[in-house]
Structure 1
């Protein structure tokens, strides 16, 4: 994190305000304030990690993943019970990203669902999502399979299976 003296002074003052406003986290804010005020570059990198960064392409990928899950549910609900007998509806539930391996992606999903109020049709909130395993690779394979389908919101059971098994 490269900051000039004025920026460091402003951030240091912000931490001073946080110390006073949030006494239960005062020790943490005091440590951050010391790091910034004294310019400890190694520890400043540690603080920088708290500021996530997702590029536009990654954000679009996450949104596409949520749209795909919506399309899977819509398509499944439009099929007859005879067609869906061998595919459990539970497989169509979005389970989220791993907090341990994909924190920034999980945080973005939480922002979209809880802060922006997007994708209410998924019936999920941030508190309901946390995969034990890293899911991004799986979701990327599923997206490729879904994008190959000619009608994204009118999938056949074979196309749903293909997406789920990608």
Structure 2
């Protein structure tokens, strides 16, 4: 992160203000202020990581994953009881992303749900929305299978099963 002296001063001052506004995090903000003020490049890179960055394709992938789960639930709900019995409804639940391995993806989901108020049908609060294992690869395989279906919101039980098994 290349910053001018003025930008470093402004950011350092903002960290100082945050330290006063959030006493429980004051030590972390003081540390960040010192890092920025003194220009410690290695630690500035550490601070930069906390800003996060998701490119457009990754953001769209997360939105598509949520949309796919919505489509699975809609399609399953439109099936008759006999067909529904073939797939347990709990398998349609969006499990989230692993907070330990996919933090930026999990944070983006929370942003979409809590800030943008998208996908209101997802019944899970963000603080509980975290998978124990990394899910991105699984969701990518599911998306590939879902995209091959001709009617993505009118899936048959076979198509639902295929997407879930991907």
TM range (shorter): over 0.9
The answer on whether the counterparts of 1:113 and 1:124 sit within 8 Å (CA) in structure 2 is no
Cα deviation for residue 96 of structure 1 reads: 0.1
* Bigger shift: residues 117-126 or 75-84: 117-126
Superposition map of 1:54-73 within 5 A? 54-73=54-73
Deviation larger for 24-33 or 96-105: 24-33
Q: Show the counterpart of 2:100.
A: 100
* Distance (Å, rounded) in 2 between the aligned partners of 1:88 and 1:23: 47
Q: Give the superposed CA RMSD.
A: 0.8
**Superposed displacement of residue 66, structure 1:** 0.3
Shift of 1:124: 2.2
The worse-fitting range, judged by mean Cα deviation, of 17-26 and 45-54 is: 17-26
* Aligned-residue offset at 1:86: 2.1
Tell me which stretches of 4 or more aligned residues in structure 1 moved more than 2 Å: none
Separation of aligned partners in 2, 1:99 and 1:154 = 32
Which residue of structure 2 aligns with residue 114 of structure 1?
A: 114
In structure 2, the partner of 1:51 is: 51
Please, what TM-score do these two structures have when normalized by structure 2? Answer: 0.97
Hey, what does 1:149 align to over in structure 2? 149
Structure 1 residue 128 displacement after superposition: 2.6
Q: Measure how far apart 1:83 and its partner are.
A: 1.0
2 CA distance for matches of 1:158 and 1:32? 54
In 2, Cα distance between equivalents of 1:59 and 1:31? 31
Task: Measure the CA separation in 1 of the matches of 2:16 and 2:34.
Answer: 10
User: What is the rounded CA distance, in whole Å, between the counterparts of 2:71 and 2:86 in structure 1?
Assistant: 19
CA-CA distance at 1:116 after TM superposition: 1.1
Contact 2:149–2:159 (8 Å) recurs in 1: yes
Compute the displacement of 1:85 (Å): 1.5
Instruction: Tell me how many residue pairs correspond in the alignment.
Output: 166
Contact 1:19 1:29 in 2 (8 A): yes
Unaligned runs of 5+ in 1: none
Please give the TM-score of this superposition, normalised by the length of structure 1. Answer: 0.97
Residues 15-26 of structure 1: matches in 2 within 5 Å? Answer: 15-26=15-26
Secondary structure of residue in 2 paired with 1:83: helix
